[in-house]
Structures are given as structure tokens and as C-alpha cells.
Structure 1
């Protein structure tokens, strides 16, 4: 029987046992619920929406800014008569109105800022992917910790049943005098040890399940009724050669953002061509000369209006070398961001190498465990026959039975560990199971 057949058989047996029970949870279900309930992810998703709303396209940045101003003022004493532009000793009421519009026709900063806005949106999304990936790795580890203990508990319950059976049998044999009292003491000690170990495992199982569902923020689930299902789906292994690790993606986007920052700082050294339009008018009235021959409000607004249209070219000549310093600092930040990419790739490579080494170790151990399970079952078969015929003591048969059950669990745990490593590598390198 080859390795894949053994894995398939083992997981099929587990699935059959689990399906017969009540509230079952798969790894995929746990991750889906966890991602839905995670508050930090929800906060980062709102940050994405905020960044998207804050984005300004190049066209939006080039739209004219239009401002309308209105003011009313009073001049007392010696002042300027707006009608003659001469100084008079009088009190004047002024109403001034302005309409100004300005737009930049050529502005390199607008292009650089628009590109940075797009990068900022991608950065916000990549930040969410990093958090989700780290969170899924935590869920994966916690899930398999519970799964290990769940399967161990099944083995120990079988051992406890066997210990109780042997204790009951020896008790009856001692009562009729066919066995010495010392055999009963041995069986009582064995049963007590199994009972304590089973209770400790049950307590640890309850704690680890609670920790898993607390990690998922699923506090309304009755964890004592939950049974975990092994991940029965075939682990995908045929991927494209391109990595898709969220941390590397985030580092690459930070590097691109630093390059855009350099362009933005350089744009401050480039000329800006803008166009403007202005419209103004005013109304005046001499307060002391109430009966003076003053034109009406609307007539004055019409007579006093003026307009101006023009273009302005602003060419930076000298700014105290401040822009050059900012450009140099941005270049250093870019080099730092580039090194961060290499750092993340190195860390990922090291982690994957270790996981691959662990996988090879478990694969080598798998064959040994298969042999051990075969020998344990053969030993159990012969010992059981001897026990039935009275050739071996119950304590010996109980020990061989426990060894066989332990061999089953070791093989099962090793198989689960192999699957856990495959899933972990997939999450690290592809961000998917």
C-alpha cells in the first residue's frame, strides 16, 4: 500500500467517524467565519474605502477652483470716494463683489499625486491581505492543535475502555480465587492512570477548542458540541512559479510608492502654467448725503464691473536647495524600500526551507510508522489469542492493546502533520490552501 493510499484511508476513516457526530467544523468554514468576524480586518477594509474616496484623478486635480467673495464695509472720516477716486471728508458705504477662477494647465505635481493616490489604494488592499494571511496562519495552527488532541482523545477513550474491561475481568477472577490480589492492584493502578490521562486530555481539548473559537471571535458557538473535520480536499501542489506572498507584495508597493515620491519632489522644480479669470464690481453710497444723486444698486454694479483674463507661468529659480534635500531623502527612502523587498523574500525563503525540511522528516518517519503499526497489529493479534487461552496476563494484553492504539495515533498524527505543513507552505507562498 503506497503512501497516498494510506493517507486517503486514514482520512476517510476519520471523516466517517466525524460525520456520525453532531456539529462538525471544517478548516475552510473556520477560516471563513474568522475572516468575517475579525475586527481589525473590518477596520482596514474601511481604510480602503476611505483611501478610495480620497483619490483625486488628474482631471479632477486640473479642474478650476472658483471662488465668489462679497464684502460690505463702512469708511468714516477722511476716505476715498470710489466714484472720483479722490479723498473726501465723508462717510462711505462700500459693497464689493469678486468672482475668481484659476486652473493649472500644466502641473507635473498633479500627475505625480494622482499616481500616488492609486498606489495608496493598492497599499491599503495589500495591508489587508497581509493581516488576513497572518490571521489564516494562526487559525490553521490552532485548528490542527485541536485536531491532534481530538484524535488523541479518541485513542485514549479506547484505551480506557480496554482498561475497564480488564479491570472488570480481573476483579471477577480474583473474587473466585483464580487470580492473586496483586493482579487486581496492578489493574486498578493501570485503570486509574488511564482515567487521569483521559481526563487531562479532555480538559486540554476543551481549552484548545475554546481558544480556537475565541481566535475566530465566534463566541456564541457551543464548543463542547463541536467536532473538527480533517481537511479532506487534495492539497494543491501544481502552482505557477510566481510567488504571491502578501508581505512581499506590500514591500513591492511601498517601493513603487517611494519612486512616486521622488517624482513628486522633482515636480516642485518644474514650471507650472496656469490660467485665471476674474470678475469684480462694487456699489458705494455716501451715508451723510442721503439725498445725494447716487445711482441705484444694480446700476452701479453694472457700471462698475471689470473683468480680467490671463495666464501665468511660474518657474522655480531658487528655493534654498530645500527641494534637492527632499529629493535626496526620497531616494534614500526608495533604497530602503527596495532592501525591504529582499528582506521579506529572504525571510520567506528561510521559512519555506525549514518547512520543506520538516516535511521530508515526516515523510521519512511515515514509512517507519507504517511498519510499526503493522507490527503492533500483528503483536496484538497473537497476544489476544494468548490472552483468550489464558497464556498471558491481562496486564500484558492491556499493554499490547495500548501499544497498538498508540501506533495508530502516531501514524494519524504524522499524516496530519504532513497535511498541516503542505497547507502552511501554500498559505506562505500562495496565500491560499
Structure 2
């Protein structure tokens, strides 16, 4: 009975020790940030950047500011309304308001008034100001979309750069693995007397060089990953890893025509619509300036009353007896304002011309970009096909060279040259593949005017 009792106590002791350790492990895992437990896909990076980018927040604030300007210009159509009160204390010689006689007594008067005014006609200045602010609001919204597209492109470029550097790390690791396997194979040949120990030493030197290449590739990967984290505004201590599963096979697609793609893009891209709206806004701004040449017809009206402390009537009775209402209608005709109005009109005409030139320049820039993008896609497709063939033949060449070295028909130098050629071919294929994917994404962007296809 002693042995079972000791066994049970031993189990209880182990359980008491294991429970706190297990609890600590569960707590640490639960307290780890989500970014440390999950990889980031391209769309997740984009969503995070769009929601946390400072420049985009500024553009949103600019849109809200212009919305306020539009509301203010609409409110200017309504009459204004003002309330007021004034107290006058007179000492020494003054006029008694009750008798209009000169008096030297201290007097006090209290005035109350309400007045309002409205423009009946002012050269459509207020109406054109509303349209001007409406165009500016729409232009700011398009500008916000343009800024968003630029940010997404930066994220896309940085993300694919990290994918490329990650692929280089994989290539370098494969080369280290090949070197280790070749060393093990040669060591067996040395044991049976088929190879010299010098061959193994040369392979070990190549293995050390491959490990150095791996270290450099890992450093490049960490650098590009850091740049992406900074673009996403993540903390330095945040564990971050991208989803390398996104490197999927690609299939060639027909290259679109430059002119047809341009006609699609010119009607969808926000930077073109922004310039069009800014041009329309400049036209309305010119109309506002011209409106100040025309006469201004206005109406004003009001109500007032007052109280005098020296009167025999009560406060309420005085307010009732001293009531005064008025309505005025007038016209103001600008004759000469030191050429300010005409000079402003001339400047606005120049602004309209400049905005039209900016719109034309933006269209030409877009056409040039699309032309280059289509040509770059063709080049990337051809380069990708060549890289696939180069990688296939380089891999076959390395395999044949390894067989020759085992048979004594080739030396370690020849094997190292073949291995380096295969390494270069792998890196070239990876780069060509990612560039080809990027070029295809750009053409889809020009066609749709946004990056929604990245979520498909």
C-alpha cells in the first residue's frame, strides 16, 4: 500500500506544479497581439493603411471644411436678423428726451432694436457662389479618392517588394540546403576513396558563401518589412508577417489597346474628374467676380423702442409708446472702385485658362502613363516567359553538373558556377513574376478607376 500512496502523491505534486505553468502559458498566448498570431494579407494591409493614414485623414477634413463652406453660401440666401440693446448715461449738460429742454441732471436711456436685411438682386453672386462651392466640394471628394488610390499603390508596391525579398530568402535557403547535401554526398565518397578531402573543403567554402548570401537576403527582407510597417504606421515592436501564400501562379492575358483603355480611364479616374470639377469651379468663380459689376437691390427693415428713467410713465408703457418700425428699399450702383472689380475679373479669366490647361495636361499625362503601362506589360510578359525557360534549363544544368561531379567529370568550381546560375535564374523568375503581376494590376486600375479588383 505504500507504493500506490507515493505514486498518487507524486501525481498530485506534478499537477500542482503544472497548473500555474499552464495558466501562465495561456495568459501569455491570450495577451499576444493579433498581429503576432496572424499573417497580414494584401487587402488587410490596405484596409489598415486607409483607416490609419494621416494624409487621408487630412483630405477627409478638407472635404468636411468645404461642406461647411457650401452650407454657409446657401445660408447667405436668407435674410440676416440682428437683436441689440444699448444704455446711455448722460452727465452735465444734455437734452431731456421728455421735454427736449436743456438739463444738467443725470439721465439714462435704454434702447432696444431688431433689424433685418436681404438682397433682392446682386448679379447672381450668391447663386454662383453656391455652385462654385458645390464644384469645389465634389473636387475635394475626388481628390480624397485620388489620395486613397496613391496610398493603395504605395502599399501594393511595398507589399510586393516584401514578397520579392521573402522569395530571395527562400532561394538562398535552398542554396544552403543544396550545399549541405552536396557536402554530405562528397564526404561519403571521401570515405570510400572516390574523392579527395580537398573537394569537401571547397564545397564547405561554397557553403559558407551561401550562408552569407542567406544572411544578406534575410537582412533585405527585414528592411523591406520594416518599410512596410512604417507605411502602415505600426509600432516597432509589433510582430508582423505578410501572407506569402499570395504568390499564386499567373496566367497570361490579352494586352488591351492603348486608346480604348485611355477612353475608359479618362472617365473613371478621380484625378481627371477632379481637374474637370476644378475647371467648372473656376468658371463659376469668374461669374461671381462679374456679378459685382451689376447693381445691388436690397431691402432692410426693423423695430426699435426705448426707455427713459426721468419719465413719469412705467417701463412697459414707455416701451409701448416709443415703438418705431421701418422698412427701407435701396439700390447701390458700382461706378468706380479703383479698378478692383475689373482687375479681379481679369485675374479670374486667367485662372480659368490655367485650369483648362491643367486639365489638358492631366489628360496628356494619363495617356502617356497608360501607353507606358501597356508597353511595360508586354515587356513584363515576354521577360516572364524567358525567365521561366531560363529557370528550367538552369535547374537541369545544375542537376547534370552534380552528376558529372560525382563521376569525376567536373570540379567544384564548375558545380559552383552552375549553382550560382540557377540561383540567379530563380531570383530573375521571382522578380519577373511579381513585376508581371504588378503590371496587370495597374491596367485593371486604369480600366476600373479603383483598386477593388484586389479584393476579388
TM-score (norm 2): 0.79
In structure 1, what is the equivalent of residue 282 of structure 2?
A: 258
Gaps of 5+ in 1: 1-21, 287-292
In structure 2, what is the equivalent of residue 200 of structure 1?
A: 216
Alpha-carbon distance change, 218 to 428 in structure 1, aligned in 2, over 3 angstroms? farther
**For 2:412 and 2:339, how far apart are their aligned partners in 1?**
92
Structure 1 counterpart of 2:125, from 109, 123, 127: 109
What per-residue deviation string (whole Å, max 9, x for no partner) do you get for residues 194-242 of structure 1? Answer: 111011101111111111111111236413x444343659999887724
Alpha-carbon distance change, 280 to 231 in structure 1, aligned in 2, over 3 angstroms? farther
In structure 2, what is the equivalent of residue 346 of structure 1?
A: 364
Structure 2 counterpart of 1:271, from 275, 283, 295: 295
In structure 2, what is the equivalent of residue 168 of structure 1?
A: 184
In structure 2, what is the equivalent of residue 318 of structure 1?
A: 336
Structure 2 counterpart of 1:26, from 34, 41, 45: 41
**For 1:75 and 1:379, how far apart are their aligned partners in 2?**
111
1:100 aligns to 2:115 (yes or no): yes
**For 1:179 and 1:94, how far apart are their aligned partners in 2?**
121
The Cα of 1:394 is off from its aligned counterpart by 6.2
Structure 1 counterpart of 2:272, from 223, 226, 248: 248
Q: How does 1:292-307 map to 2 (within 5 A)?
A: 294-307=312-325
The Cα of 1:28 is off from its aligned counterpart by 2.0
In structure 2, what is the equivalent of residue 69 of structure 1?
A: 84
TM-score (norm 1): 0.83
**For 2:163 and 2:356, how far apart are their aligned partners in 1?**
41
Query: Tell me, what secondary structure is at the counterpart of 1:68?
Result: strand
Query: Tell me, what secondary structure is at the counterpart of 2:182?
Result: helix
The Cα of 1:341 is off from its aligned counterpart by 1.6
The 8 Å contact of residues 98 and 281 in structure 1, kept in 2 or not, is answered as: yes
In structure 2, what is the equivalent of residue 83 of structure 1?
A: 98
Matched residues, number: 405
The 8 Å contact of residues 265 and 446 in structure 2, kept in 1 or not, is answered as: no
What per-residue deviation string (whole Å, max 9, x for no partner) do you get for residues 4-44 of structure 1? Answer: xxxxxxxxxxxxxxxxxx84333222211111121221122
| Structure 1 vs Structure 2 CA RMSD | 2.9
Alpha-carbon distance change, 199 to 99 in structure 1, aligned in 2, over 3 angstroms? same
Query: Tell me, what secondary structure is at the counterpart of 1:212?
Result: helix
The 8 Å contact of residues 255 and 378 in structure 2, kept in 1 or not, is answered as: no
1:36 aligns to 2:51 (yes or no): yes
In structure 1, what is the equivalent of residue 6 of structure 2?
A: none
Query: Tell me, what secondary structure is at the counterpart of 1:294?
Result: coil
Query: Tell me, what secondary structure is at the counterpart of 1:312?
Result: strand
The Cα of 1:393 is off from its aligned counterpart by 5.2
Tell me which moved more, 308-317 or 380-389.
380-389
**For 1:118 and 1:213, how far apart are their aligned partners in 2?**
38
Gaps of 5+ in 2: 1-36
In structure 2, what is the equivalent of residue 126 of structure 1?
A: 142
**For 2:287 and 2:372, how far apart are their aligned partners in 1?**
41
Query: Tell me, what secondary structure is at the counterpart of 2:246?
Result: coil
